[in-house]
Amino acid sequence: MNTIIHDESKMTVAYRQFKDKLYHNAFSFTQLIALQALGYLFSFNASTTASGSDYYYVYIQNINPIPLFTMTLIWMIIQGFSLSGEKKREYYLVSNNFTAYFSDIAVLEVYAVVIGITMIFSGPMLQMLANLSLGTFQPGAAYEAMTFLNYLSLFVTTTFYALLIGAGAYFLGILRVRYQSFFVFGSIGVVVLLILWSVLGIRFIGPGISIGFEELSNFYLQESNILIWLVKIIGSIATFYFLSWIGIRNLEVNH
C-alpha cells in the first residue's frame, strides 16, 4: 500500500490532498452561505439619501452589495487563516511541505473563484429579494445599465481581491503556525511599531503623513490602468505566496 502511494508524484499527492481538503472543509461553504445571508441583510441598509420639502420627504434606501462583499472577504480571511493551521491532519500520510502548501493555495483559489461567481449574481439576487420584499423598489439606472463587460470585470476584480485577502491571511496563519507564541508577541510588536511610526511621523514630519487601511487599499483601488492594476494585484498575491512558501518550506508537517 505504502509503495503504491510513494510511487505517486508530488503533484498527484498534492492534487489528492487538494480534493481531500475541499471535501474535508465542506462546512466552510455553509459558513459562506451564512455570512453571505448576513451580507445580503446588511446590503439592504447600506446607506440612505433624502430630499424633500415641507410637505413631503423622499427617503431613498440604497441597496448595494458592498456589505455583502465585505462579509465574503471576512469568510476568505477565516479560510486562509484556518487552512494554514491544518498541518497536523493525520490523514495526509505522504504529504510534505510542498503538497500541503500547493493544496492549500489551490483550495484558496477555488474559494476565490466561488466568491467571484457569487458576487456576479449578487445584483440579480438583491433585485429578486427586493422585488419580493419591498413594494417601492427601483433597480437604479446604473444597475440596469450594467453590461457583460461590467459583470466580467466584477468577476475578475472580486476573484483577485479575494485571493489577495486569502493569501495574506494564509501567510499570517503560516507565521502563527511557525512561530506559535512568538507570533502573538510579534503581532503586538508590529502594532507598537505602527503606533510609534504614527507618533514619530506626526512629531517629525507633520500631520500630512497618514498610513492606514484606506491608503493601503488605494494602492489597488485608485489604479485606472488595467495592466498596472493586474501587475500590482498579481505581484502582491505572488509575494504572499512566496513569503508563505518561505515560511512553510522547512516546517515540520506533523510537528
Does 124 engage in binding with other proteins (CB under 8 A)? yes
Q: Output the smallest distance, CB 97 to other proteins, in A.
A: 26
Q: d(Cα 184, Cα 193) in Å, to the nearest integer? A: 14
Does 16 engage in binding with other proteins (CB under 8 A)? no
C-beta separation of 119 from 158 below 8 A:
yes
Specify the stretch interacting with other proteins by CB under 8 A; choose among 5-13, 119-127, 166-174, 177-185: 119-127
Taking each helix axis from N to C terminus, what angle separates 181-200 and 148-179, rounded to the nearest 10 degrees? 120
Does 141 engage in binding with other proteins (CB under 8 A)? yes
**How many residues belong to the site for other proteins (CB under 8 A)?**
69
Residues numbered 74 to 113 that lie near other proteins (CB under 8 A) are 74, 78
Residue 97's Cβ-count burial label (10 Å; 0-12, 13-18, 19+) is: middle
Q: Which residue has the cell 505602527?
A: 194
Does 210 engage in binding with other proteins (CB under 8 A)? no
Q: Which residue has the cell 452561505?
A: 33
Cβ atoms within 10 Å, residue 213: 7
Q: d(Cα 161, Cα 169) in Å, to the nearest integer? A: 12
Specify the stretch interacting with other proteins by CB under 8 A; choose among 18-26, 96-104, 171-179, 234-242: 18-26
Taking CA 174 as the corner, what is the angle to CA 172 and CA 178, rounded to the nearest 5 degrees?
120
Does 4 engage in binding with other proteins (CB under 8 A)? no
Does 17 engage in binding with other proteins (CB under 8 A)? no
Q: Output the smallest distance, CB 188 to other proteins, in A.
A: 12
Which residues make up the interface to other proteins (CB under 8 A)?
Answer: 23-24, 26-35, 44, 46-47, 49, 51-66, 69, 74, 78, 117-119, 121-128, 130-132, 134, 136-143, 146, 150, 153-154, 157-158, 161, 212-213, 217, 221
